[in-house]
Every structure is written in structure tokens, then in C-alpha cells.
């Protein structure tokens, strides 16, 4: 599956309607972003059941701002609607593949339990 362009208007639908979404926040003028783009595209071909989305930070400034993007490229992952990974910098191809494999195996019941535990601690 080729990468999809993500806009603020389509963000919620893409996140909610797909099990695993990997997002690349990038900009045309960014050299490391241009170097990362073919890696991101190649890896997307190997994982057809994962949605790979790209957010142009110049066009989608509000969306980038909502994540506090300060450095690009930044890779963010959502599984079952929950943000589970965020890292600035271009990931090497093998590291991106490894990340996706680990995220596919991630037990979301454990993640939700951990989030609930943290929320109850914050309230106390």
C-alpha cells in the first residue's frame, strides 16, 4: 500500500478506522525528510495491512502543532486509536521495520491498563 497524505480533516477517520497507522511528519525543504521518504515508502510496501501516512508540516501547521512537532522528520504511531510511539529523526529502514513488527505484536489491553493506571494516579 502506498502512503497516504493526511490532513487535519482526515486525521481522526484514518486513526479510528485502521488498526495500525504510522505517520511521517515532514516538509519539502527538509533534507533528512527527503532522504527518509523513500525508506518510508519502501517499508510501506512490505506491510500492506498497516496505513502509512504523511503530514506536510508546512501545509498542516495546526496538526503538527497539536503534536508539538519541533523537529522533522518525526515518526508517530497509533494502534487502535492510541498513540504508542513518537520519535524525531529519520529511522533507518531496519529500525522502522522492527518498530512495525513490535507494534503489531503490542498487547493493547496492557497499554490500556497502563493508561488507566496512570490516569488514576494523576487524579489521586
Catalytic-residue membership of 30: yes
Question: Contact 90/73 with Cβ under 8 angstroms?
Answer: yes
What H or E segment, with its residue span, contains residue 52? strand 51-56
Kindly name the residue from 6, 33, 63, 64 that is annotated as catalytic: 33
Kindly name the residue from 21, 23, 30, 100 that is annotated as catalytic: 30
Residue linked to cell 525528510? 33
Catalytic-residue membership of 91: no
Contacts of 40 (CB under 8 A, 6+ apart): 3, 22, 24, 52, 54, 96
Q: Which residues are catalytic?
A: 30, 33
Amino acid at each position: 500500500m502506498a502512503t497516504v497524505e493526511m490532513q487535519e480533516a482526515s486525521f481522526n477517520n484514518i486513526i479510528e478506522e485502521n488498526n495500525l497507522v504510522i505517520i511521517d511528519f515532514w516538509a519539502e525543504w527538509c533534507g533528512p525528510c527527503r532522504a527518509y521518504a523513500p525508506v518510508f515508502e519502501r517499508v510501506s510496501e512490505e506491510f500492506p495491512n498497516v496505513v502509512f501516512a504523511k503530514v506536510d508540516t508546512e501545509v498542516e501547521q495546526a496538526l503538527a502543532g497539536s503534536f508539538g512537532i519541533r523537529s522533522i522528520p518525526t515518526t508517530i504511531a497509533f494502534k487502535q486509536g492510541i498513540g504508542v510511539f513518537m520519535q524525531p529523526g529519520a529511522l533507518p529502514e531496519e529500525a522502522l521495520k522492527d518498530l512495525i513488527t513490535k507494534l503489531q505484536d503490542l498487547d493493547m489491553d496492557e497499554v490500556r491498563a497502563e493508561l488507566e493506571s496512570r490516569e488514576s494516579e494523576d487524579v489521586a
